[in-house]
Every structure is written in structure tokens, then in C-alpha cells.
Amino acid sequence: MRVAIIKYNAGNIQSVSFALERLGVDFSITEDSEEIQRAEKVIFPGVGEASTTMNYLKSRNLDRIIVSLRQPVLGICLGMQLMCKYSEENNTECLGVFPEEVKRFLPLRDMKVPHMGWNNLLLKDGWLDPAINCLYAYFVHSYYVPVNPFTSAVTEYINPFSAALHHKNFYAVQFHPEKSAVAGELVLKSFLNL
Amino acid sequence: MLTKRIIPCLDIKDGRTVKGVNFINIRDAGDPVELGAEYARQGADELVFLDISATNEERKTLADLVRDIARHINIPFTVGGGITSVGDVAPLLEAGADKVSVNSSAVKNPALIDELSKAFGSQCIVLAIDARKMENQWIVHTHGGKKPSDKKLFSWAKEGQERGAGEILFTSMDHDGTKMGFANDPLEKLHNSLSIPVIASGGAGEMGHFIDAFLIGKADAALAASIFHFGEIKIPELKQYLHRRNINVRM
């Protein structure tokens, strides 16, 4: 299987590619539209800030390419947030694959923002291997997607939020499967086995 | 629920781990990649690699080592030691490190924290603080704890947060190596005055000390080195112990 990792100014491309390497997956890191469209699966990674990243994607026409893809696409962390309609992070209009809004965590008592560390995943029916239910994944984020009809896993921090999403051929996770030990590998396998 | 984190710390010199480690199933006890992978298998939540090389000459292969670590380890890790500029950090993050820690260089040049957090985001900047209590004040020390500075622990931690640090790694030099427990009083004070996570370091000797650091010190994470390296505390047993005492940890 050939997986394309979309190349842009995301912080975790190296880690995502190493995770695929550990799983023995054939992949390329590319911003070439034809190569992305030809791939069997596409991964849209992400670490960074929403508005500058959206501008970067637009400047390379990657925004249009991503929404036009027909094969399974996996958004990770900021990638997932950018696949939503709008983010409160610098009032950014995003790709709109998921008709949802990304909100900022409001600090509550001694619960700190960003939400950083390991938290457990509660699966709803869907694409993730049932063995992942209740396992812990590694999160680092200050913005979240509320629970909605496209939510495929829920995590709770300050309030319940979407740890994973699915709509048509688009899949997304808020946590970092590439850094989430065995649970993360199960998540990547769930996507790769679709 | 967000869990408390257990973090083994490995000192690196010339690309090799410095202190002896006695894992029986490790072929090369000096190989940071193999040791890190073993800790990840045991259930460590994160790793810290601290390069204690004295010269830049010794340190120049650090990015290669980081790449090798990232290739083999499936949990987050922090790299520290000798970072003085944005230019030092970019190759480490590009190689796959999740966070970097700064210590002496930030005391000397506090604006470094602003520059790093603007360039890479707060979430990947850890401010490491070594401090010792002198005449009733917690005085920040630099150069591996050798040199006292003019900074005080609590105001420096707060300044670090305001400048954009995403986490504070506080080592009490008074507790480090004593195996008498973490510095719970200053840890709690840090927790109460900051809105970023605090990692407790220095003093772990038995499993109960971790309970104290989490419940009394309110630490978000606890770091230790030799007790893990010498197998005095094994991470799976520590996690079981914490879990049975209702501390939320990743099992």
C-alpha cells in the first residue's frame, strides 16, 4: 500500500513517518498534487497554529486538493482541526470537511491549558479497532472539537470533546497516534486497514 | 481523565548514556536508543534525554541521536542540554524530538524563552530550573547546579511562564540524590502560582514518594533517573502501586 503524507510546515511529519516506518508501511512525504491524489491513503499531519497553516495550505493549493480527495484521509491534531469548518484560533476559516467549529478550552479550576499528556479514549461505533476503547493516547492541544454527530471517540478534559471524527472518506484524531505507544499503533492500523 | 506522568531521565555524553543502567534484557547499557525503547515498553509516559557534553564539539551529533531515538521510540520525549538559540532547537524538533528544555542559557538570556516559544510554540518549550534553599530563599542555580544565580525559584518560574514556557521542570538540589522524597512544599507553591504543568524532579527513593509528589506537591509529572536505571523502582510496579492508591496513571 502506498501512503502519502502531505508535506507542509507541520511539526510532526518526521514522527508520523517514523511511526509508519515502524509499521512497515510504504509511504512518501509529498506536496505534489498528483502524487497525493494517486496514493491509496493520505495522512494530513499537523502541529502549529491554525491561521498561518491555512494560509500556507492555500498558497500551495493544498486546501483544494485535500477536500477533493476520494480515498481515506487521516487528519492528525491540527490536521483534524483544520478539517473542520472554522477555528476560534485566530478566527480561521478552515477546510469544512466536518461541519463543526473548533473551540478554545476555557481553564477550569486547576485544570491547565493546553491539555497535555495521556488521556483515555471512549469509542463510539465506527472505524477504530474496539481494542482501543479505554486505552490512553497522548494529547497536546489548546483547542478542541465538541462532541458532534461525526464523533467516533470521546475524551474528557474540562468538558467531553471529540478525540476522533469520521465523515465519508475523512477520518481524524485529536491526539498523536505517532506518539501514543501501542494504542497509537492500533489507531494507525485501524486507518491503514480501512 | 488526564493521567499523572512518570518520566525517566537519561544523561547523555558523546551519544552514550552516562550512568550505568542494569536492565538485564538490554544488550548495550550505554545505548540511549535501546534504553529509551525499553522504558517505553515498561510504560514510561515520556522520556527526557539530557546532553551533558561539555563542548559543542561533543554535542554536534545530538540531532543524529535524536533522529535515531525518534525512529525507535513511540512515546514523547524531551531533549535538553546546551541549547542557546532558535538555531539549536530547529534541527532537534525536525529530527523528531517533541520538546526541548532550557536551563542555564535561559537564566543568562531570559528572552531566549520568548524566542523559542514564538518560533516553535509553548507546548514544546520546557523551562528546567535547578534550585536550592539558601537563607530561606529558593535560589536558582546554573551550570548543572554549580553556580548560584540572582534568580529566585518562584518568580523565575512565573517569568518563564509569562515568556512562553509550556512546562516547568523543577529539580530541588537539596533533595536530588537523597532518596528522601521530592520537594513537595515548593512544588505545591509552584502549582498554585502557575497555570502550566510542573514536573517534579530530585529525591525519589521509594514508590510512596511519587504519591506525595502528586498529592501534596500537586505535580503533573514526576521525573527520576537512578532509581529507575538501577531497577530499585520498576515502572510497571510503580504504576500498579499508584493505580491501587487512586492516582490516575496510564496502565
Q: Convert chain A into a string of H (helix), E (strand) and C (coil).
A: CEEEEECCCCCCHHHHHHHHHHCCCEEEEECCHHHHHHCCEEEECCCCCHHHHHHHHHHCCHHHHHHHCCCCEEEECHHHHHCEEEECCCCEECCCCEEEEEEECCCECCECCCEEEEEECEECCCCCCHHHCCCEEEEEECEECECCCCEEEEEEECEEEEEEEEECCEEEECCCHHHCHHHHHHHHHHHHCC
- Are A180 and B1 inside 8 Å of each other by CB? no
In a domain? residue B250: no
**B156: which residues sit within 8 A by CB, 6+ positions away?**
B107, B129, B140
- Are A118 and B96 inside 8 Å of each other by CB? no
A94: annotated active-site residue: no
Residue pair A96/A85 in contact (Cβ under 8 Å)? The answer is: yes
Which residues of chain A have a pLDDT value below 50?
A: none
A127-160 tens-digit pLDDT: 999 999 999 999 999 999 999 999 999 999 999 9
Q: What is the pLDDT of residue B131?
A: 96
Q: What is the pLDDT of residue A39?
A: 97
In a domain? residue B78: yes
What are B46's three cell numbers? Answer: 515520556
Give the Cα separation of A99 and B78 in Å (integer): 36
Give the Cα separation of A153 and B108 in Å (integer): 45
Interface of B with A (CB under 8 A): 1-3, 5, 40, 45, 67, 70-72, 74-76, 93-96, 98, 120-124, 166-167, 191, 195-197, 218, 220-221, 250-251
- Report how many domains make up chain B: 1
Q: What is the pLDDT of residue A54?
A: 94
What are B198's three cell numbers? Answer: 510542573
The minimum CA-CA distance between B205 and chain A, rounded to whole Å, is 24
Instruction: Give, as one character, the DSSP assignment of residue B122.
Output: G
What's the CATH code of the domain at A73? 3.40.50.880
Long-range contacts made by residues B40-43, C-beta under 8 angstroms, separation at least 24?
B40/A181, B40/B73, B40/B74, B40/B75, B42/B234, B42/B235, B42/B236, B43/B6, B43/B235, B43/B236, B43/B239, B43/B250, B43/B251
Give the Cα separation of B81 and B100 in Å (integer): 9
- Are B96 and A18 inside 8 Å of each other by CB? yes
Chosen for mutation from A8, A9, A15 (greatest number of chain B CBs closer than 10 Å) is A15
- Are A114 and B221 inside 8 Å of each other by CB? no
Chosen for mutation from A106, A118, A156 (greatest number of chain B CBs closer than 10 Å) is A118
- Are B3 and A138 inside 8 Å of each other by CB? no
In a domain? residue B189: yes
pLDDT (tens, 9 = 90+) of chain B, 251 residues, equals: 999 999 999 988 888 887 655 555 555 668 899 999 999 999 999 999 999 876 666 666 789 999 999 999 999 999 999 899 999 999 999 999 999 999 999 999 999 999 999 888 888 999 999 999 999 999 999 988 889 999 999 999 999 999 999 999 999 999 998 999 999 999 999 999 999 999 999 999 999 999 999 999 999 999 999 899 888 999 999 999 999 999 999 99
- Are B2 and A47 inside 8 Å of each other by CB? no
Give the Cα separation of A103 and B13 in Å (integer): 44
What's the CATH code of the domain at B102? 3.20.20.70
- Are A15 and B3 inside 8 Å of each other by CB? no
The DSSP H or E segment spanning B172 is: strand B167-172
**B24: which residues sit within 8 A by CB, 6+ positions away?**
none
Question: Residue B105, CB half-sphere, CA atoms under 13 Å: how many?
Answer: 18
**A59: which residues sit within 8 A by CB, 6+ positions away?**
none
A178: annotated active-site residue: yes
In a domain? residue B251: no
Closest residue on chain A to B197 (Cα): A112
Interface of A with B (CB under 8 A): 11, 14-15, 18-19, 21-22, 47-49, 107, 110-120, 136, 138, 140, 156-157, 176, 178-182, 184-185
- Report how many domains make up chain A: 1
Find the Cα–Cα–Cα–Cα dihedral B57, B63, B67, B73, rounded to 10°. Answer: 90
- Are A117 and B5 inside 8 Å of each other by CB? yes
Q: What is the pLDDT of residue A91?
A: 95
- 3-class SS at B188? helix
Q: Which domain holds residue A66?
A: 2-192
Question: Which residues of chain A does B197 touch, with a Cβ-Cβ cutoff of 8 Å?
Answer: 112, 116-117
What are B30's three cell numbers? Answer: 550505554
In a domain? residue B228: yes
Catalytic choice (B130, B176, B212, B220): B130
| Torsion sign (Cα): B168, B172, B175, B181 | negative
In a domain? residue B154: yes
Partnered with residue B221 across adjacent β-strands are B5, B199
Q: What is the pLDDT of residue B15?
A: 83
The minimum CA-CA distance between A109 and chain B, rounded to whole Å, is 10
What are B60's three cell numbers? Answer: 554536534
Closest residue on chain A to B165 (Cα): A114
Query: How far apart, in Å, are the Cα atoms of B243 and each of A118, B114, B206, B247?
Result: 15, 38, 15, 5
Question: Residue A100, CB half-sphere, CA atoms under 13 Å: how many?
Answer: 24
Q: What is the pLDDT of residue A76?
A: 97
The DSSP H or E segment spanning B152 is: strand B147-152
CB atoms within 10 A of CB B91: 14
Q: What is the pLDDT of residue B247?
A: 97
Question: Residue A95, CB half-sphere, CA atoms under 13 Å: how many?
Answer: 27
- Are B121 and A48 inside 8 Å of each other by CB? yes
Look at residues A121, A168, A176 and name the one whose alpha carbon lies nearest to residue A149: A168
Question: Which residues of chain A does B5 touch, with a Cβ-Cβ cutoff of 8 Å?
Answer: 117-118
**B25: which residues sit within 8 A by CB, 6+ positions away?**
B38
Chosen for mutation from A8, A18, A105 (greatest number of chain B CBs closer than 10 Å) is A18
- Are A180 and B166 inside 8 Å of each other by CB? no
Give the Cα separation of A161 and A106 in Å (integer): 13
A84: annotated active-site residue: no
**B146: which residues sit within 8 A by CB, 6+ positions away?**
none
Residue pair A64/A161 in contact (Cβ under 8 Å)? The answer is: no
**Residue that is written with C-alpha cell 515548593 in the block:** B186
This complex has an ipTM of 0.92
